[in-house]
Amino acid sequence: MTDALRVVDVAEEHVDSAWQVRQRSFGPGGDKDEWRKTALEFAQDGRYLGVLDGDELVAAARIWPFEQWWGGRRIPMAGVAGVVVAPEYRGRGVASLLMRAVLKRSVEKGYPLSALYPATTVLYRHLGYEFGGGRYQFTFPAADLRTLGGRGVQVRKAGKADAQLFIELASKLHAAERSNGPLIWPLSEVESWLGDDDNFAYVADDGFVVYNWSDGNLSVDEMVAGSEETARALWATVGSGASIARSVYVHTAPTDPVHLLAEHEAEAQARVQRWMLRLIDAPAAIAQRGYAAGAVLDLSVRIEDADLPANAGDWRLSVADGTGSLVAAEPAEDAVRLGARGLAALYAGTPVAALRGAGLLSGGSAAADAALDNAFGGSTAYMIDYF
Ligand SMILES: CC(C)(COP(=O)(O)OP(=O)(O)OC[C@H]1O[C@@H](n2cnc3c(N)ncnc32)[C@H](O)[C@@H]1OP(=O)(O)O)[C@@H](O)C(=O)NCCC(=O)NCCS
């Protein structure tokens, strides 16, 4: 690495080179003007970092201002995207330099969590990210959805003005289901999907669906239903396209009721894209998530975290009445020992046996393992959206 490399906030004058690095990294495509507009929004809000060599931008990464559901509570989450390094600068630590700055900025912006879809795990594992959950895509026969019924439910076409309502309906459902993983997008993004003519959105009293065409079939991007009847009605609305579309691709939880409603099982080949999680501020992340009702935990943990030393050290981890805390404590012989990766995977509900099997957790006791599984377990962590 040359000494001239420095991390900066991407400014307007760098945006054209950022586009070039992006094209060389992800391939051609995309609308440059549209991309530029969004890029400037990230830049203006201090959520677009780059690496300069002299005056030339050679790497960049963005932070989405998301919230994420954990145990039915929403927590601010830095969604890292568009990590790119110019080809001639790769293989000498530029992405690592940039990602360390992304972690630092995420701390400054007060995000307890960060998540990303990795194109390569190595880079992010070195920085404390570990798999947290998946984005699942199932394929159902459109004809099966068409006949689901729900005819008594009023379904109306939705538009941009319904964005806030969509967020509220989704929030109600995720809180009630104690969901793990799904995102809440900024309101402006939801408005922009709903204003997009390529998306078809329908809303009922306690649910909504957003779908679009995908290679002659239909693809459901978002689906929220607060009752069986609404689920039936919204799926049947999508399935009404069965005379043209043979299949409906569905991004949803692996435990979504649609699996129990549709006559035939989803096609055997489901797609899973895994995403990674990192705790940026461990005490805040532990305090802000929800836990299994009735879970009780009170044990010593030792965390190693070289990149974010505020997370490192000896702690007392407690959970009771659905709420958790991580408080600095004296070192203990029987402490559960974890690094940043183990902590992220534990937080996301990975069974402790799997963490031990991968060398990501040690110490503690069998009783501690059972209590940890009980507190952090719950429904499988998933995301509906890619970013
Ligand atoms: C992936 C990318 C960002 C890596 O940039 P980079 O500056 O070469 O990364 P670094 O030199 O900091 O590498 C950090 C670690 O990741 C590893 N790594 C980097 N690219 C890798 C790859 N393609 N496959 C496996 N490991 C990789 C490095 O070997 C290094 O690990 P090590 O220290 O154990 O050897 C860059 O190749 C790129 O822009 N690719 C195209 C776009 C892309 O895939 N972006 C990621 C989106 S999530």
The reply to whether ligand 1 has any atom less than 6 angstroms from the CB of 93 is: yes
Distance 91 CA to ligand 1 centre (A): 7
Task: Tell me which residue has its CA closest to atom 36 in ligand 1.
Answer: 85
Residue nearest to atom 16 of ligand 1 (CA): 123
Q: Whose CA is nearest to atom 22 of ligand 1?
A: 120
Residue located nearest, by CA, to atom 44 of ligand 1: 119
- Identify the pLDDT of residue 295: 95
The answer to whether the CB of 220 falls within 8 A of the CB of 249 is yes
- Cα atoms found within 13 Å of the Cα of residue 362, Cβ hemisphere only: 5
CB of 122 sitting under 6 A from ligand 1: yes
Ligand 1 lined by 218 (C-beta under 6 Å)? no
Identify the three-state secondary structure at position 301.
Answer: strand
Cβ of 84 closer than 6 Å to ligand 1, yes or no, is yes
What the chain holds in terms of domains, given with CATH numbers, is 5-111 (3.40.630.30), 148-262 (3.40.630.30), 281-376 (3.30.1050.10)
For ligand 1, the distance from its centroid to the CA atom of residue 317, given in whole angstroms, is 34
Query: What's the confidence (pLDDT) of residue 2?
Result: 57
Cα of 173 from ligand 1 centre, angstroms: 38
CA-proximal residue: ligand 1, atom 29 (nearest): 91
* Separation CA 203–CA 146 (nearest Å): 17
CB of 81 shorter than 6 A to ligand 1? no
Q: Is 177 exposed, middle or buried (0-12, 13-18, 19+ CB in 10 A)?
A: middle
Neighbours of 205 (CB within 10 A): 12
pLDDT in tens, 286-302: 999 999 889 999 999 99
> Is the CB of residue 99 below 6 angstroms from any atom belonging to ligand 1?
no
* CA–centroid distance, residue 191 to ligand 1 (Å): 34
pLDDT in tens, the chain (387 residues): 556 899 999 999 999 999 999 999 999 888 999 999 999 999 999 999 999 999 899 999 999 999 999 999 999 999 999 999 999 999 999 999 999 999 999 999 999 999 999 999 999 999 999 999 999 999 999 999 999 999 999 999 999 999 999 999 999 999 999 999 999 999 999 999 999 999 999 999 999 999 999 999 999 999 999 999 999 999 999 999 999 999 999 999 999 999 999 999 999 899 999 999 999 999 999 999 999 889 999 999 999 999 999 999 999 999 999 999 999 999 999 999 999 999 999 999 999 999 999 999 999 999 999 999 999 999 999 999 999
- How many Å apart are CA 101 and CA 24, to the nearest integer? 22
- Say if ligand 1 is within 6 A of residue 23 CB: no
CA distances to 32, 307, 383 from 3, rounded to whole Å, are: 32, 21, 40
What pLDDT is recorded for position 293?
Answer: 86
Judged by DSSP in three states, 137 sits in strand
